[in-house]
């Protein structure tokens, strides 16, 4: 066995042990994204879409432009009294301007006052709610996907 092959096998073993410990540590979650390894771990299709969106976000969700798009969408949806599920969920999403007390947390995968939510989670949720279909994403958000 060559020295390079031994090093590769050791590296693969270390990564496997690391991933195993991560999966074990977070097994109570429906899924998560590991940025360093660009790996999605998920238990169902919706969560896979959500976590996949984290993978291709590349910081777009944390820009002023995305925040402005979210706020514009919320204002228009409130003004029009939009009642579809996606509009409702975006309007009430934790950490993007909604008071936690006004947020219906049961409709989200995870919702805690300690800080879950925010624009990066909204970005991933919008993609998952659209079923991964860009044309199903509200038009104001499409340039970010």
Average pLDDT over residues 79-106: 70
Contact criterion met (CB below 8 Å) for 97 and 90:
no
**What's the CA gap between 130 and 138, in Å, rounded?**
9
Please write the tens of the pLDDT for every residue from 28-40.
667 888 888 888 8
Q: What pLDDT does residue 73 have? A: 93
Q: Where are the domains of the chain?
A: 3-43, 60-144
**What's the CA gap between 62 and 119, in Å, rounded?**
6
**What's the CA gap between 36 and 34, in Å, rounded?**
6
Contact criterion met (CB below 8 Å) for 44 and 30:
yes
Q: What pLDDT does residue 136 have? A: 96
pTM above 0.75, yes or no: no
Give the number of other CB atoms < 10 A from CB of residue 80.
9
Contact criterion met (CB below 8 Å) for 67 and 119:
yes
**What's the CA gap between 22 and 51, in Å, rounded?**
15
Q: What pLDDT does residue 100 have? A: 43
Q: For the chain, percent helix, then strand, then coil, each to nearest 5?
A: 60, 5, 30
């Amino acid at each position: 066995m060559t020295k390079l092959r031994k090093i590769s096998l050791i590296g693969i073993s270390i990564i496997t042990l690391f991933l195993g410990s991560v999966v074990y540590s977070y097994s109570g979650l429906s899924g998560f994204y590991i940025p360093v390894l660009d790996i999605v771990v998920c238990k169902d299709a919706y969560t896979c879409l959500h976590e996949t969106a984290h993978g291709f976000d590349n910081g777009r969700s944390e820009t002023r432009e995305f925040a402005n798009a979210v706020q514009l969408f919320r204002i228009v949806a409130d003004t029009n009294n939009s009642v579809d599920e996606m509009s409702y969920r975006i309007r009430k999403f934790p950490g993007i301007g909604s008071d936690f007390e006004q947020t219906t947390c049961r409709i989200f995968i995870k919702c805690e006052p300690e800080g879950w939510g925010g624009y990066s989670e909204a970005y991933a949720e919008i993609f998952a709610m659209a079923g991964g279909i860009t044309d199903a994403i509200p038009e104001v958000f499409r340039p970010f996907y």
